[in-house]
Amino acid sequence: MLEKEQIKNRIETEIFETKVLVERYRELTKPIAPENAIGRVSRMDAINNKSVNDSALRKAELKLANLHIALSKIDDADFGICFRCHNPIPLGRILLMPHVITCVNCAR
């Protein structure tokens, strides 16, 4: 089925991009240098940035996990079916967010 190939390609691209993101956030969330090495103010900046990057990293990791789940389920009979109301999820939504398991209505 052409649609499925399209979705698969989209998910694979998304996995690749998310992996790059995760790598970048991991780099940004490395332990912060001691105060005497970078100065007090820039260390406080670094700590603030780190907490922002930490949550971005967690989000990216979660998305990556969901994408792998989506990819592993692509051949399932219920792929693209809303987890809650069992209506088909529109292709546009799957392509935009391949890791979602609910339709727009149920995601609210």
Q: Which residues bind Zn ion (CB under 5 A)?
A: 82, 84-85, 103, 106
Identity at 51, one-letter amino acid code: S
Cα angle for residues 27, 29, 35 (degrees, 5° grid): 115
Nearer to Zn ion, 26 or 84 (CB): 84
Sign of dihedral through CA atoms 88, 93, 84, 8? positive
Q: Minimal distance in Å, beta carbon 6 to Zn ion?
A: 22
Cβ nearer to Zn ion, comparing 15 with 89:
89
User: How far apart are CB 31 and Zn ion at their closest, in Å?
Assistant: 43
CB of 104 to Zn ion, least distance (A): 8
CA distance linking residue 79 with residue 45, whole number of Å: 44
